[in-house]
């Protein structure tokens, strides 16, 4: 069925996607710039033709969408009818990339092809010093190269909403990054969003022990998740490529540097959702921007532009979206060349005296939230979102 669907889909595909089952070869790409050049892009297109295994329809749709975005820009086709399933799936995949810039789409295409290629290679084939991709993640892309471990939230069709699997995978990736040979770690998002925060469908999977058990386990998960950011030993940089919501905003207070595209916005609609602040924001935001501005965000749900977030100290620097990746990665590559031990020790000196306090704040926020999740205000808000989105 899937193969038949894919064959049908080929009629609407660029020709490079039509040949997709040959022996894999080592990927050689110019990784000198973290924004892919036209040559990298062409190499990646050739590489797709050499994949040994069919990567599956979902990946092919992603490749298709990124290719179209990189070459033509935002989706410009009329939406196919509901019964035209194949073309509708492709249109959806492309359209979901929104106004993602062509260069970013090109880079994401190259990264995706590269991760597909490396997932088919044995580790012994990876030459020392070349780009290393970690496979085994469903919701992330993780690469390590030139002293930088890059963790990319990779559920673009869901605006990188963080489901339970992604919480676990981020923790796993951070633990691995804390021990690998990279000097700095970067968190970013694939697609037009950085992240839409907690995946609200997390509320729907209620275990036999009922919603109380779910709330208790979720509080444990959240505490552990935020704890990983509090304890992360190397410089941690957020590359906020687009809008950020909820927990993806609050944990920014635990990052060492936050770079944002001027397309990014920062929104913590906790009261609207019947919830309360997490990610240590009840402490870090007050320190960063003072109680009144923190209240506007955390209590009244004021959405900040990137410029406003920068003026309030939450964001370190803002760049025009058209040059965002280039400018940010130029800086990051320079940082990664600094002596790693000195950077780690300096971070320790800057952050250590706050750690105990942060863990205490984290514990308190999680325990308050555990109660909030059981409230009518919260349940109603979640049901509203999910029914509007026909998830119930
Ligand atoms: C009993 C207790 C259990 C609790 C378990 C929790 C564990 C830890 C909790 C930590 C707490 C965190 C607090 C927060 O993060 S609060 C913030 C939560 N996020 C939101 O409220 C955002 C909700 N989403 C939106 O408002 C909009 O989707 C958007 C982000 C503004 C984008 O709007 P747009 O119109 O452009 O796009 P769509 O809405 O069509 O989105 C495309 C598809 O993505 C799905 N989507 C997007 N965001 C989420 C989300 N946060 N959760 C679930 N799904 C999301 C959306 O439904 C669309 O899916 P579809 O294509 O299948 O319809």
367 CA distance to ligand 1 centroid (A)? 22
pLDDT digits (tens, 9 = 90+) for 45-57: 888 877 767 677 6
Read off the DSSP letter of residue 89: H
pLDDT of residue 28: 29
Return contacts of 124-131, CB within 8 angstroms, 24+ apart: 125/26, 131/29, 131/31
Instruction: Inform me whether the pLDDT recorded for 90 exceeds 50.
Output: yes
Q: Which residue's CA lies nearest to atom 16 of ligand 1?
A: 246
Q: Which residue's CA lies nearest to atom 42 of ligand 1?
A: 158
Q: Is 197 in the pocket of ligand 1 (CB under 6 A)?
A: yes
- Between CA 321 and CA 328, with CA 324 as vertex, the angle to 5 degrees is 160
Crossing angle of helices 324-336 and 102-119, in 10° steps, is 50
199 CA distance to ligand 1 centroid (A)? 5
What's the whole-number mean pLDDT along residues 200-206?
A: 92
> Which structural domains are found in the chain, ordered by start?
38-117 (1.20.80.10), 140-390 (3.90.226.10)
ipTM value greater than 0.90: yes
The encoded tokens of residue 219 equal: 């509080």
List, in sequence order, the alpha helices (H) in 137-209: 164-179
Give Cα separations from 277 to 129, 160, 284 (angstroms): 42, 20, 11
231 CA distance to ligand 1 centroid (A)? 27
Let me know: does 257 contact 237? Beta carbons within 8 Å.
yes
pLDDT of residue 41: 87
Give Cα separations from 197 to 143, 280, 333, 372 (angstroms): 22, 15, 28, 17
């Amino acid at each position: 069925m899937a193969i038949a669907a894919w064959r049908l889909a080929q009629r609407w595909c660029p020709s490079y996607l039509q040949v997709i089952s040959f022996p894999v070869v080592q990927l050689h790409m110019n990784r000198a710039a973290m924004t892919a050049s036209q040559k990298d892009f062409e190499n990646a297109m050739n590489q797709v033709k050499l994949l040994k295994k069919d990567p599956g329809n979902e990946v092919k749709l992603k490749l298709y969408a990124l290719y179209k975005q990189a070459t033509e820009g935002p989706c410009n086709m009329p939406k196919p009818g509901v019964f035209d399933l194949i073309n509708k799936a492709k249109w959806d995949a492309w359209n979901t990339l929104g106004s993602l810039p062509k260069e970013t789409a090109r880079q994401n295409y190259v990264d995706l092809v590269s991760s597909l290629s490396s997932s088919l290679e044995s580790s012994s084939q990876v030459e020392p010093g070349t780009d290393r991709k970690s496979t085994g993640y469903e919701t992330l892309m993780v690469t390590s190269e030139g002293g930088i471990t890059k963790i990319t939230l990779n559920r673009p069709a869901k605006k990188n909403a963080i489901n339970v699997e992604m919480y676990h995978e981020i923790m796993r990736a951070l633990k691995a990054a804390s021990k690998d040979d990279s000097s700095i770690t970067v968190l970013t998002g694939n697609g037009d969003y950085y992240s839409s925060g907690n995946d609200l469908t997390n509320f729907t999977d209620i275990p036999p022990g009922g919603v109380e058990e779910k709330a208790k386990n979720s509080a444990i998960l959240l505490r552990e998740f935020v704890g990983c950011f509090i304890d992360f030993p190397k410089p941690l940089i957020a590359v906020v490529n687009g809008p950020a919501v909820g927990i993806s905003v609050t944990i920014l207070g635990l990052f060492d540097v936050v770079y944002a595209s001027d397309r990014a916005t920062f929104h913590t609609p906790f009261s609207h959702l019947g919830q309360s602040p997490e990610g240590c924001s009840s402490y870090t935001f007050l320190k960063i921007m003072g109680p009144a501005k923190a209240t506007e965000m955390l209590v009244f749900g004021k959405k900040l532009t990137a410029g406003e977030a920068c003026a309030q100290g939450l964001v370190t620097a803002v760049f025009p979206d058209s040059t965002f990746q280039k400018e940010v990665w130029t800086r990051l590559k320079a940082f990664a060349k600094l002596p790693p031990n000195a950077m780690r020790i300096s971070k320790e000196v800057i952050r250590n005296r706050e750690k105990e306090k942060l863990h205490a704040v984290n514990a308190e926020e999680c325990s308050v939230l555990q109660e909030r999740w059981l409230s009518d205000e919260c349940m109603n808000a979640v049901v509203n979102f999910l029914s509007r989105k026909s998830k119930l």
